[in-house]
Amino acid sequence: MNALALRLDEAQQRATAIEQLAEPLNIAEAYEVQTALLALRLGRGEALTGVKMGFTSTAKRQQMGVEDLIFGVLTDGMAVRDGGTTDLATYVHPRVEPEVAFRLGKTISGQLTAEQARDAVDAVAPALEIIDSRYQDFKFSLSDVVADNCSSAGYVIGSWNADPAAIENTNNLGMVMSFNGRQVQSGSSAAISGDPLQSVIDAARLAGEIGQELPAGSILLAGAATAAVPLEPNSEVTLEVQHLGSISFRTEDS
Ligand code: OOG
Ligand code: MG
């Protein structure tokens, strides 16, 4: 299992794709590889900042041909500052997705009611996720992508909004993502499992299933509202989320 984590870690660090796994893993084994990958990042001095949900929208499930919800981990080494720049040479074949992020005010794990999930969130923000499969052609099975930490590569979070009304009303916000002012995706936060808050419930359940908890202070990326779009060099990527504001980052290619 660790050998697999080392291969995926090296692929990420060298920004070079590897072949799909020859031996199929079961989901529990795939999450073990993900945990080993995180240990390698922590060993390099990175800190865990949160988790992300994946395949929460029909658009994403159709784009990637997979059916189940997945979750991955985020570290400070993946954070891109709002208004900052990221170098495309550090990724294999990066794509970007429009998302919503929550910040947890309470530690959660296992089954939560909708009310408990809402209560565990202390702020909400617009977010962009940069995903980058370490597999050739961005192709994978469900367990392959889980082992690859669900393609996690980068994320940008906007200003946190702690207004209880904002947290309560994330279920139908208009979202527009643009490259250099040209709209590339638009949709609604309703595409994220009907309501992005559902991702808090699902993340707590999935963490509980593998004996983990999501600590207070964690960031939770709720999942993409639309299909992902390949990043292009020298672009300004912006996301505008109704009521929550806009965020952006620039791409360069060294
Ligand atoms: C897996 C990551 C999916 C999302 O928001 O649905 C994801 C992938 O598509 O490579 O982050
Ligand atoms: Mg995502």
Q: How do the residues of the chain divide into helix, strand and coil, expressed in percent and rounded to 5?
A: 35, 30, 35
Position 199 scores a pLDDT of 98
Alpha helices in the chain (DSSP H): 2-14, 27-43, 58-64, 114-120, 142-147, 164-168, 197-209
Provide mean pLDDT across the span 19-47.
95
The pLDDT tens digits for 166-213 are 999 999 999 999 999 999 999 999 999 999 999 999 999 999 998 999
The candidate with the shortest Cα–Cα distance to 123, out of 101, 95, 106, is: 101
- Mutation choice for ligand 1 from 91, 131, 155, CB with most ligand atoms inside 8 A: 131
CA distances from 131 to 106, 128, 150, 161, 166 (A): 27, 10, 8, 25, 27
Q: Which residues line ligand 1 (CB under 6 A)?
A: 52, 54-56, 60, 64, 97, 129, 131, 133, 145, 150-151, 223-224
Tokens read off for 136: 């050739």
**Atom from ligand 1 closest to the CA of residue 140:** 10
**Atom from ligand 1 closest to the CA of residue 223:** 5
Domains for the chain: give ranges and CATH numbers: 2-78+97-170+190-225 (3.90.850.10)
**Atom from ligand 1 closest to the CA of residue 64:** 9
The alpha carbon dihedral of 138, 228, 128, 110 has a sign of negative
Tell me the pTM.
Answer: 0.97
The pLDDT tens digits for 108-140 are 999 999 999 999 999 999 999 999 999 999 999
